[in-house]
Chains A and B, each alone.
Chain A
Amino acid sequence: MAIGVTGTPEKRKSSGSIINDPQVRGIFYQAITIIILAVLVYWTVQNTVENLQRANIASGYGFLNGRAGFDLGQSLIAFTSDSTYGRALVVGFVNTLLVAITGIITATIIGFIVGVGRLSHNWIIAKLSLAYVEVFRNIPPLLVIFFWYSGVLAILPQAREALALPFDIYVSNRGVAFPRAIFGEGSQYTLFALIIAVVASFVFARYARQRQEATGQRLPVLSIVLGLLIGLPLITFLATGAPLTFDIPVAGKFNLTGGSVVGPEFMSLFLALSFYTAAFIAEIVRAGIRGVSKGQTEAAHALGIRPRLTTRLVVVPQAMRIIIPPLTSQYLNLTKNSSLAVAVGYADLVAVGGTILNQTGQAIEVVSIWLIVYLSLSLATSLFMNWYNARMALVER
């Protein structure tokens, strides 16, 4: 009978000794690895606990409820020295998020401009872009941060000789001070109007696209969306009696008081991370565009599509598939590099955690919090980018 020939091959019998059975061997080695790992972990934990007890160091996360006792220079949420250590860590986390998100946005914009610039037919633009990439890519990020920080401190005027710009904006080496908007009674309606306008714009844009695909007619999408986004909130704002005032910075004895201030610490970190990461993104963008076969462009031209539209509709969508995966790791790098904030005194998670570590001596707990937060941040970024990548990926039928 020939049944055995087409079916799965019969399981090979070990020739005699069990030692030569590949399956038994495989299980054996895996078991050994797991046992070694378990022993190592157990031993580490055991030793740590023992040493902490011997050194009379209290352990556990209870210290997070203690009164912090120190103040923080930059905070987006309310924080005083009476707040808890836990809240201080939250302030640090929010500051990390702030610099990471703003940095990612700016780095992406600069990166795309420089990346496309490197492929420009204009000699000066191409060479300037090349110089930009080579300079920023080859300097350690910490030095870039120092460069911006000392640059900001050295070049900008002292606080009491602050440079006055229009709209009550003042620039000094204490940062940029600008009027802070104070929203009065009834401003929530303007916010609702804005949200409605955004939703309506999306719905309209979708309808316009469907209509164009079905009938070939194009609707004036841009002007209608702009009209919605600006007009609707503006009308509501005026109808509710313009409930908006400004807290304007004025010169105090030492600093400008009032208004909002963006400190030089944040500015230098933000600029440094943006410019540094943008150099890598530029190269990724260039690689992505180069990765699209030339035949695609030629085919588009042959169909009579104009160069601008060719880039937007043919090249970029295909390039994105090459760009997104490495772009993700640049975003992760930027987030992780933001921990260099400690060098310029920006109160990010690592800086605040370091202070807490020092005041409480809870080194292992604080380090574990750092690890968990950065790991979660990076994994969240990865998940988002993987989702985006899956959306952009070529759908194979």
Chain B
Amino acid sequence: MARRILTALFGAAVMGIGAHAASAATLDDVKAKGFVQCGVNTGLAGFAAPDASGNWSGFDVDYCKAIAAAVFGDATKVKYTPTSAKERFPALQSGEVDVLARNTTWTINRDTALGFNFRPVNYYDGQGFMVRKSLNVKSALELSGAAVCVQTGTTTELNLADYFKTNNLQYNPVVFEKLEEVNAAYDAGRCDVYTTDQSGLYSLRLTLSKPDDHMILPEIISKEPLGPAVRQGDDQWFDIVTWVHYALIQAEDFGVTQANVEEMKKSANPDVQRFLGVEADSKIGTDLGLTNEWAVNIIKAVGNYGEVFDRNIGAGSPLKIERGLNALWSKGGIQYAPPVR
């Protein structure tokens, strides 16, 4: 941690050249160094976790891959920087990472005072509570007097304080910096309750020694719109990161998948043709600073939004999280992409 903060300090202060590079044209820097430096979670199954041989996979990791595919046409040109909740912001501020795809909640404070930009929400989440079934607790309102495990430096920590204060409940916070430490403490019975984003709870329950002994309470106490963040002051890079997400949504909307993307190029639908860059004189990709193949490259690399969701956290994964709010707007959710035109 000390190293990161020092890097942040020196990145901001001493390395004048590096800091210049960090603010101006991120796309040019990324192209020059040949890879996207992506800030991810240190290990949250389904979102970002390395396997035994060090290959990263997960929902957020797929966003890093999609950005690399859009820029280079090659999803492998990514380097991952695992960051704790506390390290993530200095890492982005200092230019150590180009984009932060790390279950980060979009808040006004982060958008303004911290100097970041958020736009697309790639996962609509909310904070929940997990408890041992043996406690016989049915609602979060019965939690007065409990010891609550929480990760430091998160919106979770603040929502927790507000929720318990509003409902006049007592609690004893047990705070750790790293997710693994929170897990270990909860598993060892140091606290009665584990609170974080509900998606995180589903993921973390799998890593406990006896997942079936634990249950997730029905209350959702906050809005946690998660999405990729970039530094302020570079609109081109911000646009690219934004439209990578919308391309994934648009692809699902059009029914373009990893398997059928080449076929779909021949589609008679002009919208699909424009989207996939096969329309004559198409400038959509080049106007973004990319090639016209950008959307095709993204879909070839990771599939559409639905495929990314299912593979990592949805029905096709051990987490089995429902699409819920994250379904397309046409299917009862609120995921929606502006027109590609």
Determine whether B233 belongs to the interface, using a CB cutoff of 8 Å to chain A: yes
Q: Tell me whether B165 and A47 are in contact (CB under 8 A).
A: no
**A174 interface residue per 8 A CB criterion:** yes
Nearest-Cβ distance from residue A204 to partner chain B, whole angstroms:
47
Q: Is the CB of A158 closer than 8 A to any CB of chain B?
A: yes
Is A354 touching B13 in the complex (CB atoms < 8 A)?
Answer: no
Q: Mark A78-96, 1 if CB is under 8 A from B, else 0.
A: 0011000000000000000
Asked if A132 is at the interface of the complex by the 8 Å CB criterion, the answer is no
Alpha-carbon distance A308/B146, docked complex (angstroms): 54
A255-B5 contact given A52-B12, A57-B93, A358-B152, CB 8 Å threshold: no
Q: Give the residues from 226 to 243 in chain B that come closer than 8 angstroms, CB to CB, to chain A.
A: 231-233
Does B113 interact with chain A (Cβ within 8 Å)? Answer: yes
Question: A254: which B residues are within 8 A, CB to CB?
Answer: 135, 143, 145-147, 192
Given contacts A47-B19, A154-B188, A159-B189, contact A71 B113 (CB under 8 A): no
CB-contacts of A153-168 with B (<8 A): 153-154, 158-159
Q: How far is the CA of A72 from the CA of B19 in the complex (A)?
A: 35
Q: How far apart are B7's CB and chain A's nearest CB, in angstroms?
A: 11
Query: Across the interface, do B19 and A70 meet the contact criterion of CB distance under 8 Å?
Result: no
Taking a contact as CB atoms under 8 Å apart, the answer to whether B190 and A264 are in contact is yes
| Given known A-B contacts A56-B112, A58-B113, A253-B145, A69 and B161 have beta carbons under 8 A apart | yes
> Is B113 within 8 A of A57, CB to CB?
yes
> Which of A354, A364, A367 sits near B153, CB closer than 8 Å?
A354
Given A252-B145, A351-B152, A361-B114, residue A81 in contact with residue B188 (CB < 8 A):
no
Within 8 A of B (CB), among A314-359: 342-345, 347, 351, 354-355, 357-359
Query: Which A residues touch B188, using CB under 8 A?
Result: 150, 153-154, 173
- A residues near B336, Cβ cutoff 8 Å: none
A345 adjacent to B23 (CB under 8 Å): no
Contact with B along A41-62 (1 / 0, CB 8 A): 0011101100110111110000
Measured in the bound complex, the distance between the Cα atoms of B175 and A54 in whole Å is 33
Nearest neighbor of A63 in chain B, beta-carbon distance: B113
Do residues B114 and A54 form an inter-chain contact, with CB atoms below 8 A? no
Q: How far is the CA of A81 from the CA of B143 in the complex (A)?
A: 18
Contact present for A358 and B153 (CB under 8 Å): yes
User: Which residues of A345-395 have CB atoms within 8 Å of chain B's CB atoms?
Assistant: 345, 347, 351, 354-355, 357-361, 363-364, 367
Q: How far is the CA of A55 from the CA of B114 in the complex (A)?
A: 8
B93 and A361 form a contact (CB under 8 A): yes
**Contact A153 B189, beta carbon cutoff 8 Å:** yes
Residue of B nearest to A362 (CB): B113
Query: Is the CB of B172 closer than 8 A to any CB of chain A?
Result: yes
Which of B85, B173, B232 has a CB less than 8 Å from the CB of A72?
A: B173
* A36 CB → nearest B CB, Å: 14
Considering the complex, which residues of chain B in the window 172-199 have a beta carbon less than 8 Å from any beta carbon of chain A? 172-177, 181, 184-185, 188-190, 192
Task: Find chain B residues with CB under 8 A from A73 CB.
Answer: 172-175
Are A367 and B9 in contact, with the CB atoms below 8 A? yes
A48 to B145, CA, bound (A): 45
Q: How many residues of A contact B (CB 8 A)?
A: 49
Min CB distance A351 to B, Å, is 7
Whether the pair B12, A69 counts as a contact (CB closer than 8 A) is no
Q: Which of A47, A255, A360 contacts B172 (CB 8 A)?
A: A255
Question: Could you tell me if A47 and B189 are in contact, using CB atoms closer than 8 angstroms?
Answer: no
Cβ-defined partner of B90 (8 Å) among A56, A257, A363: A363
B12 touches A48 (CB 8 A): yes
Q: Evaluate contact between A354 and B1: CB separation under 8 angstroms.
A: yes
Q: Which residues of B contact A52 (CB under 8 A)?
A: 12
Q: Is the CB of B115 within 8 A of A355?
A: no
Inter-subunit contact B13/A359 (CB<8 Å): no
Question: A55–B145 contact, CB under 8 A?
Answer: no
Query: Which of B154, B157, B190, B233 is in CB contact (< 8 Å) with A174?
Result: B190
A48–B8 Cα gap in the complex (Å)? 11
User: Please, which residues of chain B bring their CB within 8 A of the CB of A43?
Assistant: 16
- Cα distance, A58 to B93, chains bound together (Å): 13
Known: A55-B93, A56-B233. A351 touches B162 (CB 8 A): no
- Which listed residue, A45, A57, A345, touches B181 by the CB 8 Å rule? A345
| Residue B89 interfacial (CB < 8 Å) | yes
A71 touches B233 (CB 8 A): no
Could you tell me which A residues sit within 8 Å of B by CB distance? 43-45, 47-48, 51-52, 54-58, 69-73, 80-81, 150, 153-154, 158-159, 173-174, 252-255, 257, 264-265, 342-345, 347, 351, 354-355, 357-361, 363-364, 367
Residues of chain B touching chain A, judged by Cβ–Cβ distance below 8 Å, are: 1, 5, 8-9, 12-14, 16, 19, 23, 85-86, 89-90, 93, 109-110, 112-115, 135, 143-147, 152-154, 157-158, 160-162, 164-165, 171-177, 181, 184-185, 188-190, 192, 231-233
User: What 5 pairs across the A-B complex have the smallest Cβ distances?
Assistant: A358-B153, A81-B161, A361-B114, A55-B115, A48-B13
- A-B contact sample (12 more), CB < 8 A, given A48-B13, A361-B93, A363-B90: A51-B12, A55-B12, A56-B113, A57-B113, A69-B158, A72-B173, A73-B172, A73-B173, A73-B174, A153-B189, A154-B188, A363-B12
Interface pairs (5), CB distance under 8 Å: A47-B12, A48-B12, A70-B161, A257-B145, A351-B175
